[in-house]
Amino acid sequence: MVTGKGQALSAMMAASPVATEEADLVRAAQRGEQDAFTALISTCDQGVLRLAHNLLKNEQDAFDIYQETFLRVFRSLHVFRFDCSFRTWVYRIATNLCLDYLRKRKVRKEESSLVNTGQGEVLDRTAVVAEENPNLDPQRSLLSAELRDAVERVLGELTPRERLVFEMRHYQGLRLRAIGEVLGTTEEAAKNCLFRATQKMRLALGDFI
C-alpha cells in the first residue's frame, strides 16, 4: 500500500519535466562520467544540427553552431537545474546562438550590399539582376524560379525569431508549447509569432497557392 508520503513523491516525479532515466544521466554527467554525457548528447545532437542547417542554410555555419552549442552544454552542465527537459535546455542554447548569428549576418549583409565603384558611385548589389542563362527553357524554369525567389524573399523578411519558430514548427515538428519552452516564453507567444510568420509566407506565396 502506498502511503500519503509515497503518493506525494510519485506525483512529484510524474510532474517533473525531466524523466527519471534522463535525470540519472544528467547527474552522472555532472559528476564527470563521460559515458553518461555521450549518451545525453546522442539524444539531441542530430536534431540540433538539422535545426541549425535548416535555419542558417549553410553547412559550415550550421556545424559551427553545432560545435559551439555542445561546448556550452559541456561547460554549463553543472548549472542545469532540472526545471525543463535536457533536450529543451540544449535547444534553448542552440536557438539563442542561431538568433545571434542571424542578427549579425543580417547586419553584415546590409553593410556588404553597398559597393563603391571607385568612380564616386555606390551601387547596391541587391538591385543588380543577373543575366538569364539563354540555355534554360523559360517555360520549365519560370514558375519554379519565381516560387524560389518568393520563398527566399519572405524568409529574408521574417525576423530571426519568426524564422526560428517557423523552422521549429514546420521542419522540426515541435509543438508550440515546446517551442515556447525553448525560447523561454509562453505557448501563446510562440503561437502568435508563428501566426505572423505564416501570414507573411502566405502573402508572399499568394500567387502560387
CATH class of 1-128: mainly alpha
List Cβ neighbours of 28 (8 Å cut-off, separation of 6 or more).
35, 36
Q: What pLDDT shows up at residue 116? A: 46
Summarize pLDDT for 62-93 with one digit per residue, the tens. Answer: 999 999 999 999 999 999 999 888 999 999 99
Answer yes or no: is pLDDT of 184 > 50.
yes
Neighbours of 8 (CB within 10 A): 11
| Residues 90 and 66 sit within 8 Å (Cβ to Cβ) | no
CA dihedral 82, 43, 31, 23 (to 10 degrees): 40
pLDDT at 123 over 90: no
Output the pLDDT for position 68.
97
Report pLDDT for 158. Answer: 84
Cβ atoms < 10 Å from Cβ of 105: 14
How is the chain split into domains, by residue range?
Answer: 1-128, 138-209
Which grid cell is 151?
520563398
CATH class entry, domain 138-209: mainly alpha
Give the Cα separation of 68 and 71 in Å (integer).
Answer: 5
Count of beta carbons in the 10 Å neighbourhood of residue 86: 23
Only one residue has cell 538539422, namely 50
Assess whether pLDDT exceeds 70 at residue 3: no
Residue with cell 515546446: 178
Query: What is the SS3 assignment for the chain?
Result: CCCHHHHHHHHHHHHCCCCHHHHHHHHHHHCCCHHHHHHHHHCCHHHHHHHHHHHHCCHHHHHHHHHHHHHHHHHHHHHCCCCCCHHHHHHHHHHHHHHHHHHHHHHHHHHHCEEECCCCCEEEHHHCCCCCCCCCCHHHHHHHHHHHHHHHHHHHHCCHHHHHHHHHHHCCCCCHHHHHHHHCCCHHHHHHHHHHHHHHHHHHCCCCC
Q: Quick check: 2 pLDDT over 80? A: no
Give the pLDDT score at 170: 81
With a cut of 70, say whether residue 131 has pLDDT above it. Answer: no
Contacts of 107 (CB under 8 A, 6+ apart): none
pLDDT at 201 (0 to 100): 84
Residue 115 — very low, low, confident or very high, per pLDDT cuts 50/70/90?
A: very low
Q: What is the pLDDT of residues 135-163, one digit of tens each?
A: 445 544 455 677 777 777 777 788 888 88
Asked if the model's pLDDT at residue 117 lies above 50, the reply is: no
pLDDT for the residue 209: 54
* pTM (2 d.p.): 0.66
- Would you state the cell numbers that stand for residue 92, as one nine-digit string? 534553448
Question: For 14-65, what is each residue's pLDDT tens digit?
Answer: 445 567 889 999 999 999 999 999 999 999 999 899 889 888 888 999 999 9
